[in-house]
Every structure is written in structure tokens, then in C-alpha cells.
Structure 1
Amino acid sequence: MLLGDTPFDAILMDITWLPKYARAGWLEALDDGFDQTEIQELTNGAQLGNIYEGSLYRWPLVADMGLLFWRTDLMEKPPSTPTDLVSISQELQRKKKVPWGYVWQGRQYEGLSCVYLEMIDGFGGQWFNPEGEKFGLDYQPGINAAQWLTNLINSGISPRAVTNYAESEALQSFKSGDSALMRNWPYAWAELQKEDSQVRGHVGISTMVSIPGVSQASTIGSWGFSLLKGSKHKDAAIKAFKYLTTNEAQVELFTEYGYTPTLKSIYQNEDLLNEYPYLAKLYGALSIAKMRPETPVYAQLSDVLQRSLSASFTDEIEAKSSMKNAQIFSEQIISAAGGGIQ
């Protein structure tokens, strides 16, 4: 692609890369291939992250969003606020029901950025406000989110080793019965129902906590198809995109492989809802899905955030200062990129 010539027609791409690829001129717009009726058939969450500068460049294959998994044998209902999560965790730990209250993705990688996005929104802030082109990392909600995550580690609610946890490590802790709560993605549900799961039949799904009066948030993750610039088979590629995202294909991807559907019709299928009751929870999470900053320099912004959070988690610097640094470096990245998020 860098050389302006590729033997391929299409690419399956993670949601955060679209602005970079579209701005670089590596993609063909899909506006002529999909109409508004087809777009409206997607769930609210699946409609996010497909458009750049007014044109459709990506068609979602599967959806993905952050979820809060909880032990139904240890609590009557999941926590809804940060305070609830802390108090429930500490009570279960005090009674020696579990070694750890809550596990999540604390390693210095993209999963940490997803965790933080849900918490800064949950505390009433925003990582980035596209309307005013302002970062909110060093505003009070951003600081509170970083401090809350840091406190989880320092108080022992989360293991100190959570700073090395990605999805698989968090899943293993929860699956083995060592944790009462876990932040992860929908794929974890099928893993938790396997015969080797110590919590099989005792797992519920909810969305991430938020302070009273503030809507909960779920980081949207998604893989979708894009058409590469210079494709010699544009019509055939778009036809393939449509075939692979039909209602029938979406049902098979969900029932056989556990991938989260993108079409509203799947979540309205009574037979599927009866057989897979948690499907309704997935739909609810998609309705509150939030995008990470949509910019060609997202990778740099995410790296800055991860490094700043890690510094706070390991007590190199206090949360307030770490978020101040993240704010300054993020503004510098945007300024160097031309002064605008696009």
C-alpha cells in the first residue's frame, strides 16, 4: 500500500485504523455500494467507526465491546457504580470468597486504553471531545478514572500483577474462580461455559460501572471490511462484503464461533434470544458503545495514555500528574499532525 500498488482487493481492519488508512489514500469509498437503508439495519454500535470525512470506507463484519462479567453465585446483582464495585469486592475478599475482587486489562497495550475510555466516560468525562477538539485527560473525571484504577491495585482489590494482564490473563483468573468480577470482551462468555470453567453456570453479563447520574460506556471494538485503492474487482469485493454480512452469515458467526452480530435483526430473533438469553445484554452494551478518538494519529495518542497510566499504576508518579502529562503530550501530537483531529 505504501508503494501505491497492491495485489489485494480488500482488507479486514480493526476499527481504530480507518482514519489513518483513509487519510493516506489507501482506501476506496463504499458510498456507491451501500445505501442508508443498509446502514440503518446495523446496531447503533456497529454504525460507529465506518465513516471518514463524510464517506463510508468500512463495512463491519463483527462487533465487539467491553463488558463486565460477574459471579451470580456471589452477588445478587452486578455493581452499577465505582463505589459499588469496590465495596462488593472488599466484602467478598473479607469473607474469603475470592482472592481478588476485580480483574481487568492493565498491561501497557491497547486493552488498557479501552479500559480507561470506559472509566473516564463513567466518571462523566471524555478522552477527547470532537466538537471542541479538546482532550479531557487532566480534567477531574479523567484524573478520577486514573486514580480509581490505581487505587484498585494499591488496595488489593485487583492483583498487582494486573499491570501485566491482557484479556487472557484476566479470563484465566475469573474462569478459575479467583475473581468475582472481570472486564473483558464478548468472546469470554463461550470460554466461561466450557467444562474446565470453575464458574460455569454462575456468570452474568453487565456493562461497566459509572457514577450516579452518568451513563455507562462500553468501548467499541470491531473488525470490518474496506476496499483497497486500485482494486480491479470493486464490484465483486463489495458483493463479497454483503454476502459475508447477511443475516444468515451473522447468525452462523454468532452461534458457531461466538462473534457478536452487527445487525439489529439478530437481536430481534426470538428463537435466538430464547436459546442465547445473553444476546439481549450484548445488544444493550452496543447501545452505549463509545469510540476511541477518531484520528490518523490514534496509535500515538493511545501509546501516550498507556504510558501515563502505567506510571501511575507502578507509583512512579501520582495519577493527577500522569494525566497532566498525558494531556500535554496528546495536545503536542495533535498540533504536530496539523492541529486538527482529522
Structure 2
Amino acid sequence: MKKMLTLLGLTASLAVASQASAVTLSFACDSVGSGYDECRKGADAWAKKTGNTVNVLQVPKETDQRLALYQQQLGAKASDVDVYMVDVVWPGLISQHLLDLKGLIPAAQMKDYFPSMVENNTVNGKLIAVPWFTDAGVLYYRTDLMKKYGYKAPPKTWAELQTMAAKIQAGEKKTNSKFVGFVFQGKNYEGLTCDALEWINSFGGGSIVEPDGKITINNPRAAAALKTISGFVGTISPAAVTTYGEEEARQIWQAGNSAFMRNWPYAYDAGQAAGSPIKGKIGVAALPAGPGGKPSATLGGWQLAVNAYSKHPKEAASLVAYLTAKEEQKRRAIQASYNPTMPALYKDKDVLKAVPFFGSLYDVFINAVARPATVTGLKYNQVSDAFATAVYSVLTKKATPEAALKNAESQISRAKGRGW
């Protein structure tokens, strides 16, 4: 009896000790689509496994607003947030405030990622973030409407998209006054930089600033791309498209009020959800090409990083390791169509069954064009702002493509100064 009481006492003591050693982490994750819910699921699974607690925070939907908030927090060396979800273009901007994760993430796990993604997250020899999911812009289309209006395949060029969208829009508007041909991200923010880079690159107009640092945005092919897309506004795209971010475009598309949409892969799962008006009617293809050009998709993607000022760095790194490991990435791919950052998962039969286009568009994802964040470094925000503002002025009919691009070139040159 005495021995049993001793054992019970020891068990109770261990339980108290375990509770005392448990920590609570704060995780600034996602707010786009099902992002928050998926973050919550993963964090809860890790918490259950480790006995810790994770508070998943609501964050701004727009990436530039998130960055501004995080820079303010990190600049103040605040420890309020332990783990951040960071954009693929942010490492060079905030690396000095992020924990070096080398040695904290299992070496075997690090070998599973695309090497280029690990390289992107390595700054001055420090592994400041771990690849979580990658992104590239894709074209969504209504398979039922394509068939209804006599089209057998999605558009290969922007001219084909314009023709198809106009025909479908004219027909559908007879019974649905809200129907439009094409929606995209036309608001003046980082999302517009992504969309417009795709348009311009698909016309053979370059990448704004080339890898060697040369500013090339002011060229005839870039102007032709902007002229083409600005012609969509008020015709196959609503005038209000210049106020749309990812979610505004998705909501119109998912309500059944658009024939085509440019967005990221996350929108597929949302559109296929139970109760969605377009469930079972969604096709996904590479974005169209310009004359003499080729399809182009802007590289997106998100990483997980640990705040260098966190009071619980080991636990925070453990959460990052769990969320970015193969098992959790596979779950997120199957349940929410998030693109994995591990090559093996693009051949996984369960993933391909859930999200078939991952296999057919693998080359699109892997060969996506990068924004000029690496070459411009700390000046990237200024470059992106100048570019997006110039494009926005064309979409809103306040400037010609030629004048807007000349102005963008001038502003980017001033940002460059004597060098990046």
C-alpha cells in the first residue's frame, strides 16, 4: 500500500512538473481562404503531441500589410510572437530578426525540400526559415461553361482568353446580371506586382529588374502586356477589379459569377468544398501567353520562421519542424490544396488523387518566375511599390503604359541609387 502511494505521488509529481514545463506559443500564420483553420489544425496537433499550447493569431490578408506589422514588432525586438509565416520575398528584409534554425530542424528533414527553396531561406549562412508551401499563379476556368459554349480546351493566349471570356460573359449575363468573364488581383498592393509580372513576362517583357541588377521594366513588350490587360477592365473584367485582392476575386468566382480567374492554388480546395456552387466544375491550367511569349507564373510561397527574441526558441523551432515535415505537408496538400515544398509529394498517389493538377502543372510551379527580391534586397519594397503603382495607373486609365513604365523606371532607378 505504501509503495502504491509512493508511485501515485511520483506520478502526480511528474504530471505537475510536465505542466510546469509546458509553454504557450504565439503563431502569426495565415488569414487567406482556409489558411487560419489549417494553421489551427496543425498547431493543435503539435500541441497535443507535446503538451504545449499554441495561440494562432489573426493577421492581415494583404502581404504588404503583414510585412509592415511584422517589421514594427521585430524592430521593437518584441517577443509577443514566437513563430511567423513569412513570404518568399521577405528573408532579405527581416533576416536579422530571425533565429538561425540550423541544428534545430532535423538534418534528414532538410534534405527533403527543394534545394532552391532552402537556398532562398539561407541568409549569410543562417537558415532563417523553413519552406512550408509554395505557390505559383494559375488560371481557373469553369469546365461546364467551356463545354456549353463550345470550347474544348482552356485558352493558351491572352487573346484567346479575351475571346472566350467575352462570349461566355455575353451568354451568361442574359440570366445573371452579375456574371463577368475574368477576375484577377487588380488592387494596388503586392498581389498586383505578382499578376503584372506574369503578364509582362508572358509577353517576353522581362522581370522588372534582372538578376544582374539591370532595370528593364521600360520596354515595348511590357507596354504591350499592360495595354492588353488594361483593355480587359470594364469589358470582360468589372471596373471594380482594381479593388480586388485574392479573396475578393475568389468570392466572385466561387459564387459562380465568373468564367475565368487568376489566383493561387489554395482557391481550388475552397471551390470544391461542400456547398460551393461550382463544386465539380473547376478546371486549372497554366496562365496564358502573350504574342511570341510563353506562359508565366509568379513564384509565391511561404516559410515558417522563429522570432530571434522569442522566450521559447526551442519549442518554437519544434513547432516549425512539425508543421513543415512531410506528414503535415501531405495533410495540407490533400485537405486544402497547398503546394508542398518537397519533390516526393508531387508523386504521392494520395496527393495527386486529391489535387490532380499538381501533377500536370508541376513544371509551372517549379519554373515560376521570381520577383526581384534577391537582387534588390532591402530596396525590394520600394521597387514593388513603384511597379504596382505604375501598373495600377494603367488599369485605372490614369496613364498610358509607356508613361507609367517610364515613371516606374525612374523611381526604381532612384531606389537603386549607387547600387542595391
Q: TM-score range by the shorter chain?
A: 0.7 to 0.9
User: Residue 264 of structure 2 aligns with which residue?
Assistant: 185
Higher deviation after alignment, 282-291 or 1-10: 1-10
Distance, in Å, in 2 between the alignment partners of 1:102 and 1:146 is 16
Instruction: Tell me, yes or no, if the aligned pair for 1:193 and 1:200 is still in contact at 8 Å.
Output: yes
Distance, in Å, in 1 between the alignment partners of 2:105 and 2:292 is 38
Instruction: Tell me, yes or no, if the aligned pair for 1:107 and 1:162 is still in contact at 8 Å.
Output: yes
Classify the secondary structure of the residue corresponding to 2:90: helix
Higher deviation after alignment, 226-235 or 239-248: 226-235
User: Residue 288 of structure 1 aligns with which residue?
Assistant: 367
User: Residue 216 of structure 2 aligns with which residue?
Assistant: 136
CA 1:33–1:127 in structure 2 vs 1: closer, same or farther (change >3 Å)?
same
User: Residue 120 of structure 1 aligns with which residue?
Assistant: 200
Instruction: Tell me, yes or no, if the aligned pair for 1:81 and 1:211 is still in contact at 8 Å.
Output: yes
Report the residue type matching 1:330 in the other structure.
Answer: I
Distance, in Å, in 2 between the alignment partners of 1:45 and 1:108 is 29
Structure 2, unaligned stretches of length 5 or more? 1-73, 147-151
- Identity across matched positions, percent: 30
1:69 Cα shift? 0.2
User: Residue 392 of structure 2 aligns with which residue?
Assistant: 310
User: Residue 59 of structure 2 aligns with which residue?
Assistant: none
Higher deviation after alignment, 73-82 or 212-221: 212-221
Classify the secondary structure of the residue corresponding to 2:139: strand
Structure 1, unaligned stretches of length 5 or more? none
Structure 2 residue 412 is matched with structure 1 residue 330:
yes
Structure 2 residue 381 is matched with structure 1 residue 299:
yes
User: Residue 319 of structure 1 aligns with which residue?
Assistant: 401
Q: With the length of structure 1 as denominator, give the TM-score of the two structures.
A: 0.86
Instruction: Tell me, yes or no, if the aligned pair for 1:44 and 1:287 is still in contact at 8 Å.
Output: no
Instruction: Tell me, yes or no, if the aligned pair for 2:79 and 2:311 is still in contact at 8 Å.
Output: no
User: Residue 262 of structure 1 aligns with which residue?
Assistant: 341
* Per-residue deviation, residues 273-321 of structure 1 (Å, max 9, x unmatched): 2343233245343122222121222222222222212211222111110
Instruction: Tell me, yes or no, if the aligned pair for 1:126 and 1:135 is still in contact at 8 Å.
Output: no
User: Residue 42 of structure 1 aligns with which residue?
Assistant: 113
How many residue pairs align between the two structures?
335
Distance, in Å, in 1 between the alignment partners of 2:268 and 2:326 is 22
Q: How does 1:181-260 map to 2 (within 5 A)?
A: 181-211=260-290, 214-229=293-308, 237-260=316-339
Classify the secondary structure of the residue corresponding to 2:391: helix
Classify the secondary structure of the residue corresponding to 2:389: helix
Classify the secondary structure of the residue corresponding to 2:256: coil
Q: With the length of structure 2 as denominator, give the TM-score of the two structures.
A: 0.71
Instruction: Tell me, yes or no, if the aligned pair for 1:46 and 1:286 is still in contact at 8 Å.
Output: no
Distance, in Å, in 2 between the alignment partners of 1:127 and 1:68 is 20
1:212 Cα shift? 5.4
**Which structure exhibits the higher relative contact order, with contacts defined as CA atoms closer than 8 Å and separated by 6 or more residues?**
1
* Per-residue deviation, residues 207-260 of structure 1 (Å, max 9, x unmatched): 211135534222222221224446676555444432222211112222334432
User: Residue 111 of structure 1 aligns with which residue?
Assistant: 191
* Per-residue deviation, residues 40-75 of structure 1 (Å, max 9, x unmatched): 632477457423356532211222221110111222
User: Residue 127 of structure 2 aligns with which residue?
Assistant: 56
Which of 154, 157, 170 is the aligned partner of 1:78? 154
1:162 Cα shift? 0.6
Classify the secondary structure of the residue corresponding to 1:177: coil
User: Residue 180 of structure 2 aligns with which residue?
Assistant: 100
Distance, in Å, in 2 between the alignment partners of 1:26 and 1:127 is 29
User: Residue 230 of structure 2 aligns with which residue?
Assistant: 150
Classify the secondary structure of the residue corresponding to 2:188: coil
Distance, in Å, in 2 between the alignment partners of 1:45 and 1:148 is 33
User: Residue 166 of structure 2 aligns with which residue?
Assistant: 90
CA 1:109–1:195 in structure 2 vs 1: closer, same or farther (change >3 Å)?
same
Instruction: Tell me, yes or no, if the aligned pair for 2:333 and 2:351 is still in contact at 8 Å.
Output: no
CA 1:9–1:68 in structure 2 vs 1: closer, same or farther (change >3 Å)?
same
Classify the secondary structure of the residue corresponding to 2:399: coil
Report the residue type matching 1:63 in the other structure.
Answer: T
Structure 2 residue 350 is matched with structure 1 residue 271:
yes
Higher deviation after alignment, 219-228 or 320-329: 219-228
Which of 249, 259, 262 is the aligned partner of 1:170? 249
Distance, in Å, in 2 between the alignment partners of 1:107 and 1:265 is 36
Instruction: Tell me, yes or no, if the aligned pair for 2:109 and 2:325 is still in contact at 8 Å.
Output: no
Higher-helix-fraction structure:
2
Classify the secondary structure of the residue corresponding to 1:70: strand
Report the residue type matching 2:396 in the other structure.
Answer: T
1:133 Cα shift? 0.6
User: Residue 10 of structure 2 aligns with which residue?
Assistant: none
CA 1:179–1:196 in structure 2 vs 1: closer, same or farther (change >3 Å)?
same
1:92 Cα shift? 2.3
Distance, in Å, in 2 between the alignment partners of 1:180 and 1:46 is 34
- Cα-Cα RMSD: 2.8
Instruction: Tell me, yes or no, if the aligned pair for 1:29 and 1:57 is still in contact at 8 Å.
Output: yes
